[in-house]
Each structure stands twice: as C-alpha cells, then as structure tokens.
Amino acid sequence: MPATSSTHLQAATWLSPGRSKRLTPDLLSGQKALVTGASSGIGKAIAIALAEAGADVAVNFPASEAEAHEVVAQISRAGRKAILVQADVSQEEQVLEMFDRVISAFGTIDILINNAGIQRDASIDEMTLAQWNSVISTNLTGQFLCAREAIREFKRRGVVSDISISAGKIICVSSVHEVIPWAGHVNYAASKGGVMLLMKSIAQEVAPLKIRVNSICPGAIRTPLNRSAWDVPEAYDSLMALVPYNRIGEPDEIGWLAAFLASDLADYITGTSIYIDGGMMLYPGFESGG
C-alpha cells in the first residue's frame, strides 16, 4: 500500500498506546551504560530503552542541556540512575574527562553506545574541508576515542560474572550508508564506511578478552537528523520508494535492538553489522527485474 499524507506523521500502528512493548528490567540489571549524543533521536531512545532494561545510564550531550535533562527525567521514571555528561566526542580531552566522570559516578562502565553523529551535506565540488572534517571528526574519530576509553576500562575490570558474561559491550550506531554509496553526502558515507571497519577490527582485536563490538545500521528513522525526508507528504512518499516495508522506522525500535545486543542474550554476536531498515538494503530498485 503506498504511503499517504495521513500516515507520514504517525508512528506505526503497532507502536500505539496499549500495544505491549516492554523490555524486561532484568535484561541489563546492574549494568552501567554511556550513550553519546543521547539528548535526541536515536540516542535518546537507546538511553531510555537501556534504562527500561535495567541499566544505569550516562547521558552525553554536546551543548543543549534542556533536552538532556528530559532524558534523565525519563530514565529516573524507569527507576534507574542517570547522570548528564557534557562532551564533544571529537575532542580527546573532553572524552577523557567524560569517562573519568562516568566511572567515578558509576564505578565502571559495561556498555558504550557510540551514537553521536552529524550530517553536513554538499555536492563533492562544493564541499568545504570544514564540512568534511566536522563529519569525520564526530562520526568516526569520536567513535574511535570513546571505544578506546571504554576498552581501557573493560580490560582493567575484566568479566564480573554476576553482572554479565562479557567484559564489556560496544555498539556503534552506523548506517546503511556504511555500504550504500550516497551522492551529495560523501563525508557522511565515508565516515560510516570507516565505522564499519573500525568496529570489525576492534571486535577482532578484543574478542579474546570477552569484549563484544557490533554496529546497528539504521535505514530511515524518524529523528531530527532527517526531518526533511519525512515531515512533508511528498518527501515521505519518495522516501518510501526506498523502503520495501513501506514505513519509516521509529527511534524506539533502535532502542530495543540496542538493549538486546548489549545483553547476554546476544553473547555470541560480535563483529557484526545489523541492518534495521525495513528492507532498504534489499536494493528495491531491482524489484521489477533490473
């Protein structure tokens, strides 16, 4: 069924109030998580999902504190501890300070969600070095800096078996554009392609230490980052040509996957990119033969 102007602003019907969508609070009980870029969109949904699954959560934000306070309030309502940590993930000193603060507040860290990301779009011949550098610094260097600090803590602490089978979990929020080329967004696609091999190479290096590293690769999710692709009916309809399942994804759906991947239920999963995209990776342009 084609998308219509009456559906483009509504969450999918199965997300409506009353439908059961509970995470069990013992899934991540006793675990401490840090979510970067957690004051909006996917990061906010992941922070809340991890709390609903039983984790205490450090909510990182780069600048605007008001939205981050709202996330902390929601985590507190879920009965978990939350702290706010301001840091620009592309800045080494700020990342080091952030980890110091989280570890002194929580004692350790079990789960890192490398989520912070930006887009600065331009055609290749118009793209400035500043646009290139800002996206690579946040989306790729930021993930490296945070992963390095998390692994230092995971190695120091090792496995605490009544908390988790694993010594630590890192989930990188990547994108379908780690493999799908994206004209007009070469900085973004290059950053996510980099995240893919950053994630896999770290996973290979630390698997013997019982540290798991994976990526979640969203397709089109309803967040502020891509508002122009879903907030008017014409844009939504043209987006649906790329989504065989014929609806946009909701941030909560990324949160639920992150909670599962961070839990011991996913203990045998490492070094993997999991696409959550309504079939965008099925190359729907080939549906009618190619």
Active site residues: 188
Q: Is 194 in the site for ligand NAD (CB under 6 A)?
A: no
Could you tell me which stretch among 11-19, 76-84, 114-122, 201-209 binds ligand NAD (CB under 6 A)? 114-122
- HSE-up of residue 277 (Cα within 13 Å, Cβ side): 24
Q: Is 224 in the site for ligand NAD (CB under 6 A)?
A: yes
Numbers of helices and strands, H then E, in the chain: 8, 7
d(CA 136, CA 126): 17
Could you tell me which stretch among 73-81, 100-108, 113-121, 151-159 binds ligand NAD (CB under 6 A)? 113-121
The number of beta carbons lying within 10 Å of the beta carbon of residue 83 is 17
CB burial of residue 66 (10 Å; 0-12, 13-18, 19+): exposed
Q: Is 181 in the site for ligand NAD (CB under 6 A)?
A: no
Locate 196 and state its tokens: 């893919």
Site size toward ligand NAD (CB under 6 A) is 28
Going from the C-alpha of 246 to that of each of 4, 159, 237, 280, the distances in angstroms are 11, 42, 9, 10
Q: Is 215 in the site for ligand NAD (CB under 6 A)?
A: no
Q: Is 221 in the site for ligand NAD (CB under 6 A)?
A: yes
**What is the closest distance, in whole angstroms, from the C-beta atom of residue 288 to ligand NAD in the complex?**
26
Report CA Rg, the chain: 19
Could you tell me which stretch among 32-40, 159-167, 198-206, 235-243 binds ligand NAD (CB under 6 A)? 32-40
Locate 52 and state its tokens: 């609903």
Q: Is 83 in the site for ligand NAD (CB under 6 A)?
A: no
List interacting residues with ligand NAD (CB under 6 A): 36-37, 39-43, 60-62, 88-90, 115-118, 138, 142, 173, 175, 218, 220-221, 223-226
